[in-house]
Structure 1
Amino acid sequence: MASPSNYSSAPVSEFLLICFPNYQSWQHWLYLPLSLLFLLAMGANATLLITIRLEASLHEPMYYLLSILSLLDMVLCLTVIPKVLAIFWFDLRAISFFACFLQMYIMDCFLPMESCTFMIMAYDRYVAICHPLRYPSIITNQFVAKTSVFIVIRNAFLPAPIPILSVWLCYCGKNVIENCICANLSVSRLSCDNFTLNRIYQFVAGWTLLGSDFVLIFISYIFILRAVLKFKAERAAVKALSTCGSHFILILFFSTILLVVVLTNVARKKVPMDILILLNVLHHLIPPASNPIVYGVRTKEIKQGIQKLLRRGM
């Protein structure tokens, strides 16, 4: 197959995603593990959503928040992974101008939506442990509805200028993206214009949204730990910690992968480009695959709900 041309005399109407530029000959072998992870992520999240929907005992604010997390995971997976698999399976590298920037917008919005959901879930655990008597009056279905609106509005509008600034750039020649996804900086580097404003806004918006979420999560868990240490009964302390154990594991996993992606991008001259690309792809696969499994294994009510669902299907 002839290699795609980097330059064209006409304005760019589509881009070509080449994924791993230094490993073109064997990258197609990644289709099997990525396909399995994709099926696991979609299947596990769909099972969790169906279980919460059908099991009346799970119709509580905490599980509604978990449903929101599963929906966000599924959207992120469906936005990125099918195109990556199409490249590996059928060598379908072309992506239209509109589809590329739509993918960029969804990624830039839904990633902070996910971190914001983790922050709301941390507040839920804080109220449950530090103010248990007030929990039913604070964490209500109305609270979940209001926080859902907040999650959507905050994270749909603040990241919006990132793809808008990218669209306004002039793409007059290069159309080959050295990535599997339409990441903002990967696309902006192809333009003929200066994209410094684009890069600065992404940095500021990213650290403002994600940074504020992680600070509030950290503060919530400091208060939770302080409250647990005051418990006189050891069993009560263990029970209190176990109620937020699943949530803490997911936050740790999400933030660790995100931190690795950020640090490797900062040190991009020292880290091979292909490693950065693989980490970006896995960041859209591993957390969605692990989130419902962690909650399903560690949460008795969800485990029982899944067992009931399976018995109904038999």
Structure 2
Amino acid sequence: MSSINVTETHPVAFMLVGIPGLEHLHIWISIPFCFAYILALLGNCTLLFVIQADSALHEPMYLFLAMLATIDLVLSSTTLPKMLAIFWLRSQEISFHACFIQMFFLHSFSIMESAVLLAMAFDRYVAICKPLHYTTILTKPLIIKIGLATVTRAVTLMTPLPFLLRRFHYCRGVMIAHCYCEHMAVVRLACGDTRFNNIYGIAVAMFIVVLDLLFVVLSYVFILRAVLQLASKEARYKAFGTCMSHIGAILSTYTPVVISSVMHRVARRAAPHVHILLAIFYLLFPPMINPIIYGVKTKQIRDHVLSLFRRKDV
């Protein structure tokens, strides 16, 4: 382990511990993590290729899906390569500024993912509740505005974090008890009054999760009401079937968040590695599973991928 010089205001670098208490299992733990990362890369890159290659998929639903795939790629690539370097090479050192950059990208793109899931819920709401106005409401200029609003909200909320953290003197050491530069894990090393950082972090998380999830649920209330008013059972099944992929993506994203939140309150005395593994699961599971959900449930994507394999066989 290399020694870390400390300047008058902050350390030159931090040391990422990995998973505290499970250091002896890092090599074994890295195997499923590496497998999940490879699946995430292959799945999301395939989605982006298929959507870009097929002009028939240049519709709002698939453009939002391309945004989600891009976000998932950035989210997993922001943390997993460094995490695997810790597990395989014991490369624990991360520079002070690189740590803050990783933190910024990690939390910003998590916020973007939540916003895109909300946009996809709006897309399904318009498609089912206002089908005659779908093309006039969800125009490409509106989709661009939604994308810009998604990025702007995330950047606006996360830009203060590095500046709030730079003002502290880190007198509690340089060992971050985590696999990546998570905001609260860094705050624990700071001296001084960190109450504002604690409140700000919790407030942003609650604002994003509660607000976005509330509007998603509200969208599905209207969708369910519209579906139940359809005359035939087949029409109801077909209409709601178009939402199944999105519902799967919502569950894959928000379920780990809810479980982690409950664990923090119910099992406060649980070993630190339990909470860290849940946090890693939140970062890895959605990018890995979302392409599979959309590949299996969306006929257009499934058919295009199968056609690619058929061409290779010919």
Q: CA contact under 8 A between 2:104 and 2:161: conserved in structure 1?
A: yes
1:19 CA displacement? 1.4
Does 2:48 correspond to 1:42? no
1:284 is paired with a residue whose SS is helix
Which letter does structure 1 place at the counterpart of 2:137?
A: I
Q: CA contact under 8 A between 2:5 and 2:12: conserved in structure 1?
A: no
Alignment of 1:1-314 (within 5 A): 11-267=10-266, 269-313=268-312
Q: CA contact under 8 A between 1:6 and 1:176: conserved in structure 2?
A: no
Distance 2:258 2:163 in 1: 26
TM-score scaled by length of structure 1 = 0.95
Q: CA contact under 8 A between 2:4 and 2:12: conserved in structure 1?
A: no
- How many percent identity over aligned positions? 37
After superposition, give the CA deviation of every residue in 1:202-228 in whole Å (9 maximum; x if it has no partner): 111111122211110010000001111
Q: CA contact under 8 A between 1:84 and 1:180: conserved in structure 2?
A: yes
Q: CA contact under 8 A between 1:126 and 1:220: conserved in structure 2?
A: yes
Which letter does structure 2 place at the counterpart of 1:276?
A: H
1:88 is paired with a residue whose SS is helix
Distance 1:159 1:290 in 2: 26
1:266 CA displacement? 3.6
Q: CA contact under 8 A between 1:264 and 1:276: conserved in structure 2?
A: yes
Between 193-202 and 163-172, report the one with greater CA deviation. Answer: 163-172
1:26 is paired with a residue whose SS is helix
Q: CA contact under 8 A between 1:18 and 1:93: conserved in structure 2?
A: yes
Distance 1:281 1:114 in 2: 16
Which letter does structure 1 place at the counterpart of 2:50?
A: T
CA RMSD across the alignment: 1.8
Distance 1:142 1:8 in 2: 49
Closer/same/farther in 2, CA of residues 266 and 159 from structure 1, 3 Å limit: farther
Relative contact order: is structure 1 or structure 2 higher (C-alpha 8 Å, sep ≥ 6)? 1
Which letter does structure 1 place at the counterpart of 2:249?
A: L
TM-score scaled by length of structure 2 = 0.95
Distance 1:106 1:277 in 2: 18
Q: CA contact under 8 A between 2:15 and 2:175: conserved in structure 1?
A: yes
1:95 is paired with a residue whose SS is strand
Structure 1 stretches lacking a partner, 5+ long = none
1:237 CA displacement? 0.3
Distance 1:168 1:232 in 2: 62
1:148 CA displacement? 0.4
Q: CA contact under 8 A between 2:5 and 2:11: conserved in structure 1?
A: no
